Amino acid sequence: MKITSRKIGLISCSGEDLPEGTISRVATRRILEQRDDTVTICLPLFLAGGQGERDFAKENPCITVDGCEKMCAAVGVKKYGGVTPRSSIVVSEIVGRLKWPKPTSKSKIAAEDEELVRKTMKIIDERIKIVKEGKD
């Protein structure tokens, strides 16, 4: 179904204990600042917040951006929102698919990892287009 009015929910894992979590966080935040058709929620609010927070994924078609194969954001949307994300992106899969070196820094985006952030942003943008056009 083509989406005309609702905003796209972007949910990042922002995992603290791995560099891919920092990539997911920064790429997601940059997209949020560039596009006014997206909205986000802090993932841990699904547990810490109330029903209003848990309904976020029902009210906004969601794209999850996870750092690793545990896919906390995607699992969180299903567990608390009761819906499947419209699209799921995993940074470690991008790294593997492109055969790029793994990012190394959790605390900042190293210069050599900027390209990975940009690639992740490009994929998020593409998925937003697909979801908005109802082609997912």
β 87-90/62-66 pair status: parallel
Give the C-alpha distances (Å, rounded to integers) separating 69 from 51, 81, 90, 130.
27, 20, 7, 23
* Residue 103 near another protein by CB under 8 A: no
Contacts of another protein in 72-101 (CB under 8 A): 72-73, 75-76, 79
* Residue 25 near another protein by CB under 8 A: yes
* Residue 42 near another protein by CB under 8 A: yes
* Residue 36 near another protein by CB under 8 A: no
* Residue nearer to another protein on the CB measure, 46 or 90: 46
* Residue 111 near another protein by CB under 8 A: no
Q: Exposure string (b/e) for 101-112, b if CB count within 10 Å is 16 or more?
A: eebeeeeebeee
Dihedral sign computed on CA atoms, order 111, 9, 128, 20: positive
* Residue nearer to another protein on the CB measure, 40 or 87: 40
* Residue nearer to another protein on the CB measure, 7 or 70: 70
The tokens for 77 are 């949307």
Specify burial of residue 70 (Cβ count, 10 A radius: 0-12, 13-18, 19+).
Answer: middle
Among 12, 87, 88, 92, binds another protein (CB under 8 A): 12
- Tell me which residues touch another protein (CB under 8 A): 12-18, 21, 25-26, 28-30, 32-33, 40, 42-49, 70, 72-73, 75-76, 79, 106-107
